[in-house]
C-alpha cells in the first residue's frame, strides 16, 4: 500500500486554470487521507483571497461549471472541509499589493519556511 506522505502544492500562477487545478489536487489528496499544504505566492495569492475574481481568466469558472465541472468556490470549500492547510505568502501578498484584502476563511499568512516545515519530507508540486 502506498504511503500517505504529506503533499505540498506551491501555486505561483494567477491563472484561473492553474489555481483551479491546485485546488483539485489539494482536495483530491486530502480526500485520500494525505496531509496537504497549499502555499500561494505572488499572483497565485489571488486564489486565496475571499474574492478570487482577480485571477486571470476568472470568467472561465462559469464556463466549466456550466459543463458540469466543480468551480473554484466548490473546490475551495472542499479543501477547507478536508483540512487542507492554506498559506498565503506574506511577501507575495505585499509584492502584489494584496496585503489589505480579505482572505478566504482559514487561510494563514506565513513564509516559505512555514510551508516547507508543513510538507517535511513529503511530495512537493509546483504550479507556476
- For the chain, the structural domain boundaries read 14-127
> Can you tell me the distance from the alpha carbon of 81 to that of 92, in angstroms, rounded to the nearest whole number?
25
Tally Cβ neighbours within 10 Å of residue 54.
15
**Fold that domain 14-127 belongs to in CATH:** Hypothetical Protein Ychn; Chain: A, (3.40.1260)
Q: Residue ranges of the alpha helices (H) in 1-128?
A: 16-31, 60-66, 72-81, 90-95, 112-119
Summarised one tens digit per residue, pLDDT across range 14-71 is 999 999 999 999 999 999 999 999 999 999 999 999 999 999 999 999 999 999 999 9
Q: Which of 84, 95, 72 is nearest to 6 (CA)?
A: 84
Phi, psi of 76 (to 5 degrees): -65, -40
Amino acid at each position: 500500500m502506498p504511503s500517505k506522505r504529506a503533499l505540498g502544492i506551491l501555486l505561483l500562477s494567477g491563472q484561473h486554470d492553474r489555481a483551479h487545478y491546485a485546488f483539485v489536487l489539494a482536495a483530491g489528496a486530502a480526500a485520500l487521507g494525505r496531509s496537504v499544504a497549499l502555499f500561494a505566492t505572488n499572483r497565485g495569492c489571488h486564489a486565496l483571497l475571499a474574492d478570487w475574481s482577480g485571477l486571470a481568466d476568472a470568467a472561465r469558472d462559469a464556463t466549466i461549471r456550466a459543463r458540469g465541472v466543480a468551480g473554484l468556490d466548490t473546490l475551495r470549500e472542499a479543501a477547507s472541509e478536508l483540512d487542507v492547510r492554506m498559506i498565503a505568502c506574506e511577501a507575495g501578498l505585499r509584492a502584489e499589493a494584496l496585503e489589505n484584502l480579505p482572505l478566504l476563511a482559514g487561510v494563514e499568512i506565513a513564509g516559505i519556511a512555514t510551508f516547507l516545515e508543513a510538507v517535511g519530507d513529503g511530495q512537493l508540486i509546483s504550479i507556476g
